Amino acid sequence: MSAFELQALLDGNRRALAKAITLVESTLDTHRQQAQEILEQVLPHSGKSIRIGISGVPGVGKSTFIEAFGLHLIGQGKRVAVLAVDPSSPIAGGSILGDKTRMEELSRREEAFIRPSPAAGALGGVAQKTRETMLLCEAAGYDVILVETVGVGQSEYQVAGMVDFFMVLMLPGGGDELQGIKKGILELADALVINKADGESVHLAQMARQHYTSAMNLLRHTSFWTPRVMTCSALEGVNIDAVWGMVLDYHLQALEEGAFQQKRSRQNRDWMHQLVQQMLMMRLKQNPAIKAMLPELERAVAEQEMTAYAAARQIMEQL
Protein backbone atom coordinates (compact mmCIF):
# COMPACT_ATOMS: atom_id res chain seq x y z
CA MET A 1 0.00 0.00 0.00
CA SER A 2 1.46 3.34 -1.05
CA ALA A 3 1.79 6.43 1.12
CA PHE A 4 -0.92 7.91 -1.04
CA GLU A 5 -3.31 5.06 -0.26
CA LEU A 6 -2.44 5.23 3.39
CA GLN A 7 -3.37 8.90 3.41
CA ALA A 8 -6.60 8.02 1.63
CA LEU A 9 -7.37 5.51 4.39
CA LEU A 10 -6.73 8.13 7.06
CA ASP A 11 -9.00 10.51 5.13
CA GLY A 12 -11.79 7.96 5.41
CA ASN A 13 -11.69 6.62 1.86
CA ARG A 14 -13.67 3.37 1.89
CA ARG A 15 -11.83 1.76 -0.98
CA ALA A 16 -8.48 2.30 0.74
CA LEU A 17 -9.94 0.92 3.96
CA ALA A 18 -11.33 -2.15 2.21
CA LYS A 19 -7.98 -2.76 0.53
CA ALA A 20 -6.12 -2.59 3.86
CA ILE A 21 -8.61 -4.99 5.44
CA THR A 22 -8.13 -7.42 2.57
CA LEU A 23 -4.40 -7.41 3.30
CA VAL A 24 -5.08 -7.99 7.00
CA GLU A 25 -7.36 -10.91 6.17
CA SER A 26 -5.03 -12.48 3.64
CA THR A 27 -3.13 -15.63 4.55
CA LEU A 28 -0.27 -14.86 2.15
CA ASP A 29 2.96 -14.03 3.93
CA THR A 30 3.72 -11.03 1.74
CA HIS A 31 0.26 -9.63 2.45
CA ARG A 32 0.66 -10.23 6.17
CA GLN A 33 3.90 -8.28 6.08
CA GLN A 34 2.31 -5.37 4.25
CA ALA A 35 -0.61 -5.49 6.65
CA GLN A 36 1.69 -5.27 9.66
CA GLU A 37 3.44 -2.25 8.14
CA ILE A 38 0.12 -0.51 7.59
CA LEU A 39 -1.04 -1.37 11.10
CA GLU A 40 2.08 0.12 12.61
CA GLN A 41 1.55 3.30 10.65
CA VAL A 42 -2.13 3.65 11.53
CA LEU A 43 -1.69 2.73 15.19
CA PRO A 44 -1.17 6.35 16.33
CA HIS A 45 -4.40 7.27 14.53
CA SER A 46 -6.46 4.45 15.99
CA GLY A 47 -8.06 3.91 19.37
CA LYS A 48 -10.40 6.89 19.33
CA SER A 49 -13.65 5.03 18.91
CA ILE A 50 -16.01 3.42 21.35
CA ARG A 51 -15.90 -0.33 20.81
CA ILE A 52 -19.09 -2.20 21.59
CA GLY A 53 -19.51 -5.98 21.56
CA ILE A 54 -22.97 -7.36 20.82
CA SER A 55 -23.73 -11.00 21.49
CA GLY A 56 -26.74 -13.24 21.85
CA VAL A 57 -28.22 -16.53 20.71
CA PRO A 58 -29.26 -17.00 17.06
CA GLY A 59 -32.52 -15.24 16.35
CA VAL A 60 -32.41 -12.92 19.34
CA GLY A 61 -32.31 -9.98 16.95
CA LYS A 62 -28.66 -8.94 16.78
CA SER A 63 -28.78 -7.88 13.13
CA THR A 64 -32.09 -6.08 13.56
CA PHE A 65 -30.71 -4.35 16.65
CA ILE A 66 -27.52 -3.29 14.88
CA GLU A 67 -29.56 -1.87 12.02
CA ALA A 68 -31.65 0.24 14.43
CA PHE A 69 -28.75 1.12 16.72
CA GLY A 70 -26.45 2.00 13.84
CA LEU A 71 -29.03 4.27 12.24
CA HIS A 72 -29.60 5.96 15.60
CA LEU A 73 -25.87 6.56 15.95
CA ILE A 74 -25.70 8.04 12.46
CA GLY A 75 -28.55 10.31 13.53
CA GLN A 76 -26.27 11.44 16.36
CA GLY A 77 -23.62 12.38 13.82
CA LYS A 78 -21.49 9.25 14.28
CA ARG A 79 -19.79 7.07 11.72
CA VAL A 80 -20.32 3.40 12.46
CA ALA A 81 -18.35 0.28 11.55
CA VAL A 82 -19.90 -3.16 11.99
CA LEU A 83 -17.58 -6.18 12.25
CA ALA A 84 -18.18 -9.79 13.16
CA VAL A 85 -16.48 -12.61 15.00
CA ASP A 86 -18.15 -15.74 13.76
CA PRO A 87 -16.67 -19.02 14.97
CA SER A 88 -19.36 -21.08 13.28
CA SER A 89 -18.17 -20.55 9.74
CA PRO A 90 -14.42 -20.25 9.63
CA ILE A 91 -14.09 -21.18 5.98
CA ALA A 92 -17.18 -19.96 4.21
CA GLY A 93 -16.32 -16.37 5.01
CA GLY A 94 -18.81 -15.98 7.78
CA SER A 95 -22.54 -16.28 8.05
CA ILE A 96 -22.97 -13.40 10.45
CA LEU A 97 -23.54 -10.28 8.43
CA GLY A 98 -23.23 -12.52 5.41
CA ASP A 99 -26.77 -11.60 4.62
CA LYS A 100 -27.06 -7.89 5.01
CA THR A 101 -30.79 -8.20 4.57
CA ARG A 102 -31.56 -7.19 8.13
CA MET A 103 -29.19 -4.27 7.81
CA GLU A 104 -30.45 -3.08 4.49
CA GLU A 105 -30.80 0.58 5.30
CA LEU A 106 -27.63 0.74 7.37
CA SER A 107 -25.57 -0.91 4.65
CA ARG A 108 -26.71 1.75 2.19
CA ARG A 109 -25.58 4.62 4.39
CA GLU A 110 -22.41 6.49 3.60
CA GLU A 111 -21.66 6.80 7.34
CA ALA A 112 -21.70 3.03 7.89
CA PHE A 113 -19.11 0.42 7.02
CA ILE A 114 -20.17 -3.21 7.30
CA ARG A 115 -17.66 -6.00 7.03
CA PRO A 116 -18.63 -9.67 7.28
CA SER A 117 -16.65 -12.12 9.33
CA PRO A 118 -13.28 -13.10 7.86
CA ALA A 119 -12.10 -16.67 7.34
CA ALA A 120 -10.09 -18.01 10.25
CA GLY A 121 -6.59 -18.39 8.79
CA ALA A 122 -3.72 -19.29 11.06
CA LEU A 123 -2.36 -17.10 13.80
CA GLY A 124 -4.91 -15.63 16.16
CA GLY A 125 -7.76 -16.69 13.90
CA VAL A 126 -10.83 -14.59 13.33
CA ALA A 127 -10.35 -12.63 16.53
CA GLN A 128 -6.93 -11.42 15.43
CA LYS A 129 -8.30 -10.15 12.15
CA THR A 130 -11.25 -8.46 13.75
CA ARG A 131 -8.94 -6.68 16.18
CA GLU A 132 -6.74 -5.46 13.37
CA THR A 133 -9.70 -4.47 11.21
CA MET A 134 -11.01 -2.50 14.16
CA LEU A 135 -7.78 -0.47 14.27
CA LEU A 136 -8.04 0.25 10.54
CA CYS A 137 -11.66 1.39 10.88
CA GLU A 138 -10.69 3.69 13.72
CA ALA A 139 -7.88 5.19 11.68
CA ALA A 140 -10.42 5.78 8.90
CA GLY A 141 -12.48 7.85 11.31
CA TYR A 142 -15.26 5.53 12.46
CA ASP A 143 -16.47 6.71 15.88
CA VAL A 144 -18.28 3.60 17.00
CA ILE A 145 -17.24 0.02 16.24
CA LEU A 146 -19.89 -2.65 16.72
CA VAL A 147 -18.56 -6.19 16.95
CA GLU A 148 -21.25 -8.79 16.53
CA THR A 149 -20.86 -12.36 17.67
CA VAL A 150 -23.12 -15.31 18.13
CA GLY A 151 -23.09 -17.11 21.46
CA VAL A 152 -21.01 -20.09 20.34
CA GLY A 153 -17.75 -21.45 21.72
CA GLN A 154 -15.14 -18.99 22.83
CA SER A 155 -16.31 -16.14 20.64
CA GLU A 156 -18.03 -14.23 23.43
CA TYR A 157 -14.87 -14.29 25.52
CA GLN A 158 -12.85 -13.18 22.54
CA VAL A 159 -15.17 -10.30 21.79
CA ALA A 160 -15.49 -9.23 25.43
CA GLY A 161 -11.69 -9.11 25.43
CA MET A 162 -11.49 -6.67 22.55
CA VAL A 163 -14.24 -4.14 23.30
CA ASP A 164 -14.89 -1.36 25.79
CA PHE A 165 -18.47 -2.35 26.42
CA PHE A 166 -19.96 -5.80 26.04
CA MET A 167 -23.72 -6.30 25.81
CA VAL A 168 -25.74 -9.46 25.54
CA LEU A 169 -29.12 -9.41 23.85
CA MET A 170 -31.73 -11.64 25.46
CA LEU A 171 -35.23 -12.86 24.70
CA PRO A 172 -38.24 -12.04 26.84
CA GLY A 173 -39.45 -15.06 28.78
CA GLY A 174 -37.72 -18.38 29.22
CA GLY A 175 -35.05 -19.18 31.78
CA ASP A 176 -31.33 -19.18 31.21
CA GLU A 177 -31.33 -22.78 30.02
CA LEU A 178 -34.07 -22.12 27.52
CA GLN A 179 -32.19 -19.15 26.20
CA GLY A 180 -28.97 -21.12 25.93
CA ILE A 181 -27.26 -18.55 28.12
CA LYS A 182 -24.00 -19.83 29.51
CA LYS A 183 -23.41 -18.88 33.10
CA GLY A 184 -20.06 -17.20 32.53
CA ILE A 185 -21.62 -14.86 30.01
CA LEU A 186 -23.55 -12.91 32.61
CA GLU A 187 -20.24 -12.20 34.30
CA LEU A 188 -18.79 -10.82 31.09
CA ALA A 189 -21.72 -8.55 30.32
CA ASP A 190 -21.74 -4.81 30.98
CA ALA A 191 -25.39 -4.84 30.03
CA LEU A 192 -28.18 -7.27 29.30
CA VAL A 193 -30.65 -5.94 26.78
CA ILE A 194 -33.89 -7.85 26.54
CA ASN A 195 -34.98 -7.44 22.93
CA LYS A 196 -38.41 -8.00 21.38
CA ALA A 197 -40.10 -6.11 24.19
CA ASP A 198 -43.07 -5.35 21.96
CA GLY A 199 -46.61 -6.53 21.33
CA GLU A 200 -47.62 -9.32 23.64
CA SER A 201 -44.09 -9.75 24.93
CA VAL A 202 -43.89 -6.41 26.76
CA HIS A 203 -45.01 -7.95 30.03
CA LEU A 204 -42.74 -10.98 29.70
CA ALA A 205 -39.84 -8.67 28.96
CA GLN A 206 -40.51 -6.71 32.15
CA MET A 207 -40.52 -9.93 34.15
CA ALA A 208 -37.30 -11.05 32.53
CA ARG A 209 -35.81 -7.69 33.36
CA GLN A 210 -36.62 -8.12 37.04
CA HIS A 211 -35.30 -11.66 37.02
CA TYR A 212 -32.00 -10.68 35.42
CA THR A 213 -31.61 -7.58 37.54
CA SER A 214 -31.60 -9.74 40.66
CA ALA A 215 -29.42 -12.37 38.98
CA MET A 216 -26.89 -9.69 38.06
CA ASN A 217 -26.96 -8.25 41.57
CA LEU A 218 -25.92 -11.61 42.94
CA LEU A 219 -22.74 -11.54 40.90
CA ARG A 220 -19.76 -9.87 42.44
CA HIS A 221 -18.62 -6.85 40.48
CA THR A 222 -15.11 -5.65 40.85
CA SER A 223 -15.27 -2.66 38.56
CA PHE A 224 -16.78 0.79 39.05
CA TRP A 225 -19.64 -0.16 36.75
CA THR A 226 -22.73 -2.03 37.83
CA PRO A 227 -24.10 -3.87 34.80
CA ARG A 228 -27.55 -2.74 33.75
CA VAL A 229 -30.54 -4.64 32.49
CA MET A 230 -32.78 -2.96 29.95
CA THR A 231 -35.52 -3.83 27.51
CA CYS A 232 -35.88 -2.70 23.91
CA SER A 233 -37.56 -3.46 20.64
CA ALA A 234 -35.15 -3.42 17.75
CA LEU A 235 -38.02 -3.99 15.34
CA GLU A 236 -40.09 -1.04 16.53
CA GLY A 237 -37.15 1.13 17.49
CA VAL A 238 -38.17 1.40 21.14
CA ASN A 239 -35.50 2.25 23.71
CA ILE A 240 -32.66 2.14 21.21
CA ASP A 241 -31.73 5.67 22.26
CA ALA A 242 -31.70 4.56 25.91
CA VAL A 243 -29.21 1.79 25.12
CA TRP A 244 -26.90 4.33 23.52
CA GLY A 245 -27.43 6.64 26.49
CA MET A 246 -26.28 3.84 28.75
CA VAL A 247 -23.12 3.30 26.71
CA LEU A 248 -22.40 7.02 26.93
CA ASP A 249 -22.89 6.90 30.70
CA TYR A 250 -20.44 4.06 30.88
CA HIS A 251 -17.95 5.86 28.69
CA LEU A 252 -18.10 9.02 30.79
CA GLN A 253 -17.74 7.17 34.09
CA ALA A 254 -14.95 4.97 32.73
CA LEU A 255 -13.02 8.03 31.57
CA GLU A 256 -13.48 9.73 34.93
CA GLU A 257 -12.30 6.63 36.76
CA GLY A 258 -9.34 6.19 34.45
CA ALA A 259 -10.77 2.76 33.80
CA PHE A 260 -11.26 3.24 30.07
CA GLN A 261 -7.61 3.35 29.16
CA GLN A 262 -6.74 0.81 31.84
CA LYS A 263 -9.06 -1.74 30.33
CA ARG A 264 -7.65 -1.22 26.85
CA SER A 265 -4.09 -1.47 28.12
CA ARG A 266 -4.92 -4.71 29.87
CA GLN A 267 -6.60 -6.08 26.74
CA ASN A 268 -3.53 -5.24 24.64
CA ARG A 269 -1.25 -6.91 27.13
CA ASP A 270 -3.41 -10.02 27.38
CA TRP A 271 -3.59 -10.23 23.64
CA MET A 272 0.17 -10.07 23.32
CA HIS A 273 0.50 -12.97 25.76
CA GLN A 274 -2.07 -15.00 23.86
CA LEU A 275 -0.15 -14.39 20.64
CA VAL A 276 3.11 -15.46 22.25
CA GLN A 277 1.48 -18.71 23.31
CA GLN A 278 0.14 -19.32 19.83
CA MET A 279 3.47 -18.49 18.23
CA LEU A 280 5.25 -20.86 20.57
CA MET A 281 2.80 -23.63 19.76
CA MET A 282 3.30 -23.02 16.07
CA ARG A 283 7.09 -23.20 16.48
CA LEU A 284 6.73 -26.41 18.40
CA LYS A 285 4.57 -28.00 15.75
CA GLN A 286 6.90 -26.97 12.96
CA ASN A 287 10.12 -28.03 14.63
CA PRO A 288 11.41 -31.14 12.75
CA ALA A 289 13.22 -32.64 15.74
CA ILE A 290 10.11 -32.34 17.88
CA LYS A 291 7.92 -33.70 15.12
CA ALA A 292 10.18 -36.74 14.92
CA MET A 293 10.20 -37.48 18.62
CA LEU A 294 6.54 -36.72 19.31
CA PRO A 295 4.92 -40.07 18.37
CA GLU A 296 7.29 -41.98 20.62
CA LEU A 297 6.79 -39.56 23.51
CA GLU A 298 3.02 -39.72 23.11
CA ARG A 299 3.15 -43.48 23.17
CA ALA A 300 5.41 -43.60 26.21
CA VAL A 301 3.16 -41.19 28.11
CA ALA A 302 0.00 -43.07 27.08
CA GLU A 303 1.46 -46.37 28.29
CA GLN A 304 2.73 -44.82 31.49
CA GLU A 305 6.35 -45.51 30.77
CA MET A 306 7.05 -41.86 31.24
CA THR A 307 5.40 -39.04 33.11
CA ALA A 308 3.71 -36.31 31.09
CA TYR A 309 5.95 -33.84 32.87
CA ALA A 310 9.16 -35.55 31.80
CA ALA A 311 7.95 -35.77 28.20
CA ALA A 312 6.96 -32.11 28.16
CA ARG A 313 10.41 -31.21 29.48
CA GLN A 314 12.07 -33.16 26.68
CA ILE A 315 10.01 -31.29 24.10
CA MET A 316 10.83 -27.93 25.61
CA GLU A 317 14.53 -28.72 25.62
CA GLN A 318 14.38 -29.16 21.84
CA LEU A 319 13.20 -25.61 21.28
Ligand X SMILES: Nc1nc2c(ncn2[C@@H]2O[C@H](COP(=O)(O)OP(=O)(O)OP(=O)(O)O)[C@@H](O)[C@H]2O)c(=O)[nH]1
Query: Interface residues with Mg ion (CB under 5 A)?
Result: 62-63
In whole angstroms, what is the distance from residue 167 CA to residue 115 CA? 20
Residue selected from 198, 251, 287, 294 as contacting ligand X according to rule CB under 6 A: 198
> Which of Mg ion, ligand X, none lies near 93, with the C-beta cut-off 5 to 8 A by kind?
none
Cβ 25 vs Cβ 119: under 8 Å: yes
> Which of ligand X, Mg ion, none lies near 149, with the C-beta cut-off 5 to 8 A by kind?
none
Minimum separation from the CB atom of position 208 to ligand X (A):
13
Torsion of CA 183, 185, 190, 195, to 10 degrees: -90
Residue selected from 17, 51, 56, 311 as contacting ligand X according to rule CB under 6 A: 56
Cα–Cα nearest to 106, from 84, 75, 132, 130: 75
Minimum separation from the CB atom of position 62 to ligand X (A):
3
Residue selected from 196, 208, 209, 260 as contacting ligand X according to rule CB under 6 A: 196
Residue selected from 51, 79, 102, 129 as contacting ligand X according to rule CB under 6 A: 102
Which window, 75-83, 155-163, 191-199, 208-216, contacts ligand X (CB under 6 A)? 191-199
Minimum separation from the CB atom of position 216 to Mg ion (A):
25
Which window, 59-67, 82-90, 176-184, 292-300, contacts ligand X (CB under 6 A)? 59-67
- Contact residues for 247 (Cβ-Cβ < 8 A; gap 6+): 50, 52, 165
In whole angstroms, what is the distance from residue 211 CA to residue 11 CA? 47
Q: Which is nearer to ligand X, 108 or 221 (CB)?
A: 108
Residues in the site for ligand X, rule: CB under 6 A? 56, 58-64, 96, 102, 150, 195-196, 198, 233-235
